[in-house]
Amino acid sequence: VSRKEFLAWVASLPPDTRDAEVETHFGIRAPVPASSPPGDHLIGYHASGVAPILHALLEVPVTADDTVIDLGAGLGKVAFLARLLTSATVRGIEIQPTLVHRARAAATRLGLDVKFAQADARTAAIEDGSVFFLYVPFTGPVLEEVVRRVENVARRHAIVVCALGIDLDREANWLVRRQIDSFWLAIYDSVVPGVPPRSANRRSVLGDQAVTIACERRA
Pick between residue 183 and residue 203 the one whose CB is nearest to ligand SAM. Answer: 183
**Other residues' Cβ atoms within 10 Å of the Cβ of residue 124:** 17
Query: What mask, x for binding ligand SAM by CB under 6 A, covers residues 168 to 197?
Result: ------------------------------
Choose, by CB under 6 A, the member of 12, 20, 46, 109 that binds ligand SAM. 46
The phi and psi torsions of 208 (rounded to 5 degrees) equal -60, -35
Pick between residue 38 and residue 129 the one whose CB is nearest to ligand SAM. Answer: 38
Q: Mind spelling out the 3-state secondary structure of 163-175?
A: EECCCCCCCCCCE
* Cα torsion angle, 26, 135, 172, 191, sign: positive
**Contact of 189 with 151, CB cutoff 8 Å:** no
In the bound complex, what is the minimum distance in angstroms from residue 25's beta carbon to ligand SAM?
A: 15
Q: What are the residue ranges of helices labelled H in 60-219?
A: 77-86, 97-110, 140-154, 208-215
Report if residue 28 touches ligand SAM, rule: CB under 6 A: no
Query: What mask, x for binding ligand SAM by CB under 6 A, covers residues 130 to 149?
Result: -----xxxx---x-------
Query: What mask, x for binding ligand SAM by CB under 6 A, covers residues 109 to 128?
Result: -----------xxx------
Query: What mask, x for binding ligand SAM by CB under 6 A, covers residues 66 to 105?
Result: ----x-xxx--xx--------------xxxx--x------
Q: What are the residue ranges of helices labelled H in the chain?
A: 3-12, 15-26, 50-59, 77-86, 97-110, 140-154, 208-215
By CB under 6 A, the count of residues binding ligand SAM is 27
User: How far, in Å, CA of 211 to CA of 102, rounded?
Assistant: 30
With a CB cutoff of 8 Å and minimum separation 6, the contacts of 84 are 3, 6, 112
Choose, by CB under 6 A, the member of 7, 10, 22, 47 that binds ligand SAM. 47
Binding interface with ligand SAM (CB under 6 A)? 38, 42-48, 70, 72-74, 77-78, 93-96, 99, 120-122, 135-138, 142
